[in-house]
Amino acid sequence: MHHPGIPTGVHVVCEREGQVLLMRRAGTGFFDGRYSLPGGHVEAGESVAAAALRELREETGLSALASDLEWLGVVHRLSDTNRIDFFVRAVCWSGEPENREPGKCDRMEWWPRGRLPRPMVVYVEAALQQTRTPWMLELGWN
């Protein structure tokens, strides 16, 4: 029996002074106008940690090591298809964030955790509301 792969994403939480780094999606056709975390798809042959570090660098210019990542949780969601998204925290990094993908993001800002912007990508907002780690959410399943 053939089992198709499930698209896998990774999202990186960067926090400083009680604020989280968020990006507003634009020009992609996928959740445009909504705030989200730096992140993207895990590519074939790539670990979740490697994808997190790559996406963080590509989107924000921030550099971190695999040992700087802390596992937070996972979202198994039904969207356009069955999807899995991993969430990690970069406990430290080097550099200052800058928008390195202006064709996919039109704003990058630090937001207080208790006052997140609207609108947000729903499953990212749900992930940021979790207070215990590790956690697992299943969203969109009836």
Q: Note the pLDDT tens digit of each residue in 88-98.
A: 999 999 999 99
**pLDDT tens, residue by residue, 32-80:** 999 999 999 999 999 999 999 999 999 999 999 999 999 999 999 988 7
Query: What pLDDT score was predicted for residue 30?
Result: 86
Is domain 8-139 annotated with CATH 3.90.79.10?
yes
Q: What are the boundaries of each domain within the chain?
A: 8-139
Q: Cα angle at 37 between 120 and 122, to 5 degrees?
A: 30
Query: What pLDDT score was predicted for residue 80?
Result: 77
CB 87 within 8 A of CB 75: yes
- Amino acid letter for position 80: D
pLDDT classification of 84: cutoffs 50, 70, 90: very high
Cα 105 to Cα 122: distance, rounded to the nearest angstrom: 17
**DSSP-assigned letter for residue 45:** T
Query: What pLDDT score was predicted for residue 2?
Result: 59
